[in-house]
Chains A and B, each alone.
Chain A
Amino acid sequence: MLDAAIIGAVLASIVAAATTLLLASLGELVAERAGTLNLGVEGMMIVGAAVGYVTAYGSGSLLLGTLAAVLAGMALSLVFAVLAIWLATNQVASGLATTILGLGLAGLIGASFVGTQLEGAPPLHIAGLTDLPILGKALFGQDAFVYVSLLLLAAVAYTLTRTRIGLVLRAVGENHAAAHALGHPVRGIRTLAVMFGGACAGLAGAHLSLAYTPFWAADMTAGRGWIALALVVFSAWRPLWLLAGAYLFGAVSILQLHVQGFGLGIPSQLLSALPYLATIIALVVISALKHGRGAPASLGVPFVPDR
């Protein structure tokens, strides 16, 4: 019953599902490595999805839609940055406010587009490679978002560990007082990191509404922004582990759909709850193993220069 074509299709859809999570969590990882916990991911993602969809629908250009989504995610992240970084408000509350505002704004923006549809981003097709059995579609038959997410991952991993910018960013996240004493603009760097996070969340939203499920539905992010936040913890703030985590969660969310399709008598709600339960289990396991190590030391602590 499971032939190569079905396995190939399932693998391809796992990659697609993982890409949304990878994009969003990658941005949040950078923001957190610089010391800022932004719980607004869900809000920035859905605003990206809404703005991206509306722009692409109006202009007929997926590229314009994607750009607009990235800008929208960044704009909302600035609201958070002003609060949490420049006014040094509580980061948890500020992030929540960003998410609540984002969900509302996205609902307003998308209100008159409910029920419409777009032609989604086209998948790559390389004669020969894409037609390979099993892995062909998963590796060589994806849309541009998938390849961009992997390039972005490589770029972030390289920048964080191999460049001066990455070193400074990590210093700001580990010990903001020392970084400040060395003359680094702590709040400026954090703002840029948060904006990068906003851009990535917006891009993740665009992937959702322009490629993965190319239509607009209210609350279509369905907690993916929160799962992305958990993935950052799961990865212990390391990009390569983020990749593993995102694909693992992509697999959980796709496989539960397929099990629902088989109709094994398991309540569909239990299967739908699996990604959320898996998130909790992953958080518990990783927290028990690491016991707080791995987190940037200044994470979540507002920086207020005294001189």
Chain B
Amino acid sequence: MPLRLERQENISPLRHAMAPVVAALVTLVVGAVMFVVLGHDPVRAFTIYFIEPLGDAYTLQELVVKASPLLLIGIGLSFCYRANRWNIGAEGQYVAGAVLGSWLALATHGMEAGPWVLPAMLVLGALGGALWGLIPAFLRVRFGASEILTSLMLVYVAQLGLDYLVRGPWRDPQGFNFPQSVTFDDVALMPLLMEDGRLHGGILIALLAVIAATFVLGRTLVGFSIELAGSAPRAAAFAGFDEKRVTYGVFAVSGALAGLAGIIEVAGPIGQLQPTISPGYGFTAIIAAMLGRLHPVGILVASLVLALTYIGGEAAQISMRMPFDVTRVFQGTLLIAILAADILVRYRIRRVEGTTHA
């Protein structure tokens, strides 16, 4: 029984918007099966995982705090993916940004420096991420090396570099030998939006990025050249758009946003450098970008959904002793489901009568 995919013309916007919803439902079904296999009552597990975190003010704030790095990184990645450049090393760019930004915090530690420190740290963070991201771009443009593999390899290098710094030269001398830096001074910390809350200024930066990216991608020639480089590279070349500049541009933007997310996280919720400063935000943001259809507002929604899997995962870990890997399974399933749903919305599977071609 041969099957084939048939492209559907004129898909209604509603049908298009259905794909992520269908993907989420499929993920929930797979999740239910997983909970049963693990020997948990699926109803209780779902309640702890997805409902309870939404019910109290603290976890709701935590949700936004966890969503903001995903949002920043995911928006940056959408620039790359629209241009068909595969930066999968955002985790490394996040670390590089955190390291370069933190350098200033540590260099000015205890010096009663002024309020210029934090803004300068943010700039350095974005710069560090952009520079780290430009390495795979350069290697691709200059030598034709696959940016997929080089950007990923640089994640390990960045993580090991951070590890060296916090165990070596940047370790807090009064820290009882714990591998961590000193706690940042107040001028080097992200201000909180409300007293006694968890929300910090970085969230506003992430929201600003949504607005800026929506404008750049949707309303400017730069956005158009990125889109064209991805969907019709030959047409882009004929139109005079420089392919190399697009590569450098999208890697610089996505690196900068990932680096910004890194320094915001370190200067915000964490408050110092440690060997581990991310629960895999750089990789989860890839899913956020895909799930949000590479659109800034979509990525905003997707980041909140994915942040919920982090929060729910932590809750289930504590109250049901469930391994945190459940969250990774959820995230992987979600990505698979969205990829499949995307196709199934745009195409229709048809049974083909007769078999001239299988």
Contacts and interface: CB of A to CB of B under 8 A. Distances in A.
A179 to B, nearest CB: 12
Contacts of A92: 86, 88, 148
B286 A88 contact: no
Nearest to A109: B325
A111 interface: yes
B168 A267 contact: yes
Given A39-B148, A108-B325, A97 B164 contact: no
Nearest to A90: B339
B144 A101 contact: no
B343 A88 contact: yes
Interface stretch (A115-123, A131-139, A225-233): A225-233
Contacts of A6: none
A89 B340 CA distance: 7
A107 B323 contact: yes
Contacts of A283: 139, 145-146, 149-150
B328 A107 contact: yes
Contacts of A288: 143-145
B340 A104 contact: no
Contacts of B327: 104
A188 B357 CA distance: 13
Contacts of B336: 79, 83, 94, 97-98, 101
A79 B157 CA distance: 30
B170 to A, nearest CB: 13
A273 interface: yes
Nearest to A84: B339
Nearest to B148: A92
B344 interface: yes
A193 interface: no
Interface residues of A, number: 54
Given A103-B328, A233-B146, A287-B146, A269 B160 contact: yes
Interface in A69-122: 79, 82-83, 87-90, 92-94, 96-108, 111
A304 interface: yes
Given A111-B325, A185-B358, A267-B164, A280 B5 contact: no
Contacts of B154: 276, 280
A291 B145 CA distance: 9
B357 A97 contact: no
B157 A273 contact: yes
Interface in B145-168: 145-146, 148-150, 152-154, 156-157, 160-161, 163-164, 167-168
A82 B236 CA distance: 32
Majority-rule SS of A interface residues: helix
Contacts of B118: none
Interface in A246-287: 267, 269-270, 272-273, 276-277, 279-280, 283-284, 287
A74 to B, nearest CB: 17
Contacts of A88: 5, 343
Interface in B314-358: 323-333, 335-336, 339-340, 342-344, 356-358
A16 to B, nearest CB: 21
Nearest to A230: B149
A38 to B, nearest CB: 12
A98 B328 CA distance: 11
B287 interface: yes
Given A88-B5, A111-B325, A96 B335 contact: yes
Contacts of B335: 93, 96-97, 100-101
Contact of B144 (A82, A87, A97, A292): A292
B38 interface: yes
A83 B145 contact: no
Q: Which of A104, A272, A307 has the most CB of B within 10 A?
A: A104
A250 B356 CA distance: 49
Contacts of A188: 358
Contact of B290 (A93, A105, A107): A93
B139 A280 contact: yes
Given A104-B326, A284-B143, A87 B343 contact: yes
Nearest 10 CB-CB pairings of A with B? A101-B332, A104-B328, A107-B325, A104-B329, A100-B332, A269-B164, A97-B335, A111-B323, A269-B160, A287-B145
29 contacts: A79-B336, A82-B340, A87-B340, A87-B343, A89-B343, A92-B88, A92-B148, A96-B286, A97-B332, A97-B335, A100-B331, A101-B332, A101-B336, A103-B325, A104-B325, A104-B329, A105-B332, A107-B325, A108-B34, A111-B323, A180-B357, A183-B357, A188-B358, A223-B152, A233-B146, A283-B145, A283-B150, A304-B5, A305-B4
